[in-house]
Amino acid sequence: MPDRVVALAPAKLNLALSVGPPDADRMHPIASWMVTVDLHDELDLRRLPAGSLSRYAVEWHPDARRQRDIDWSISKDLAVRAHLATERLVGRSLPVQLRLRKRIPVGGGLGGGSSDAAAMIVALDRLHGLGLDERARHALATGLGSDVAFLLEGGSAIVEGRGERLDPLPSMPRFHAVLAFPAEGCPTAAVYRRFDELPGARLDPERVRSLAEVEGGLDPHAPFNDLAEPACLEQPALRGIRRDLAEVAGRPAHVSGSGSTLFVLCDDAVHARRLAAEAERALDLPMVAVAAAARPAPVAH
């Protein structure tokens, strides 16, 4: 077994997100086309001797463009929760030293915490030689959050139900995009409460699949998100930022997940880098150029 495993936890974009009305236990069914991109948090996991107490450090990576206070209890961090859940599953202590360096904004709708949890499960399995099968990993993931199961594998997939039903797509879409990081975060629960205040909620998985099945390049107008309007209601400044970004880009600015991150689809890598620089100057907001990318495998040392 290795003494150390380094895992990259990628952000995800919702290129399509349809949300249904809440069911009896107030949870919302979704249908979404999710794709991972090459913006990553980094987990550095070291195995400690048997009987040691685990140690955790969560900090911002020097490259992080939008840094908010890390003000949550360490026991509530999703990567730490994934570690504790894995210990409960295998019935023994798995002592580690974790250094988590974050680049993905908190409250940004990019699945950063969920991706950290998924990376922890994968890295811990490798570090301690657990031999977890797909069913065990999936059970851990679905118990932690609705995006975690997808982010175990990443890539491109249709995600349905409460995030537990995955239909991986045979190939990655080829796209480049610019991400904009407003100062305002969007708490997921608050955005869903706004969603419930709006009439006409209807789950439409066929619309999601139809977009994912289009061949050729993605139309920059095509992404849609049923949580975009609720996010703008929760954070009113987001509406103006979205409008201004679209004006600079000359094409629509979309909301990822429950917000607040906005994205604009670009023609190629050069276009994405140029637009990121131009929009950052014009709007005085952090911007990052990204591309669709498969989830990187953890590296053992």
Report pLDDT digits (tens) over 68-96: 888 888 989 999 999 999 999 999 999 99
In total, how many domains does the chain have?
Answer: 2
Euclidean distance between CA atoms 14 and 3, whole angstroms: 35
pLDDT reported for residue 10: 98
Residue 150 and residue 60 share a domain: yes
Mean pLDDT value across residues 205-222: 92
Residue 148 and residue 254 share a domain: no
Q: In terms of residue numbers, what domain contains 207?
A: 176-291
Whether 48 has a pLDDT exceeding 90, the answer reads: yes
Distance of CA 36 to the CA centre of its chain: 8
Mean pLDDT value across residues 241-270: 97
Residue 205 placed within a domain: yes
Q: Which listed residue (3, 12, 63, 76) is catalytic?
A: 12
Residue 156 and residue 41 share a domain: yes
Between the alpha carbon of residue 257 and those of residues 59, 118, 248, 296, the distances in Å are 23, 18, 22, 22
Whether 167 has a pLDDT exceeding 90, the answer reads: yes
Q: Which listed residue (41, 116, 125, 147) is catalytic?
A: 147
Single residue among 147, 171, 195 that ends a domain in this structure:
171
Residue 237 and residue 94 share a domain: no
Euclidean distance between CA atoms 172 and 188, whole angstroms: 27
The two three-digit tokens of residue 187, written as one number:
């708490």
Residue 209 and residue 93 share a domain: no
Single residue among 110, 142, 171 that ends a domain in this structure:
171
Whether 1 has a pLDDT exceeding 90, the answer reads: no
pLDDT reported for residue 212: 94
Looking at per-residue confidence, does 216 or 230 come out higher?
Answer: 230
Residue 69 and residue 96 share a domain: yes
Residue 119 and residue 80 share a domain: yes
Bridge partners (DSSP) of residue 12 are 36
Q: How many Cβ atoms from other residues are within 10 Å of residue 61's Cβ?
A: 15
Residue 285 and residue 150 share a domain: no
The CATH number for 243's domain is 3.30.70.890
Q: Cβ distance 261 to 110 under 8 Å?
A: yes
Residue 190 and residue 47 share a domain: no
pLDDT reported for residue 214: 87
147 counts as catalytic: yes
Residue 236 and residue 90 share a domain: no
77 counts as catalytic: no
- Averaged pLDDT of the chain: 96
Single residue among 121, 145, 171 that ends a domain in this structure:
171
Residue 64 placed within a domain: yes
Residue 196 and residue 158 share a domain: no
Residue 213 and residue 270 share a domain: yes
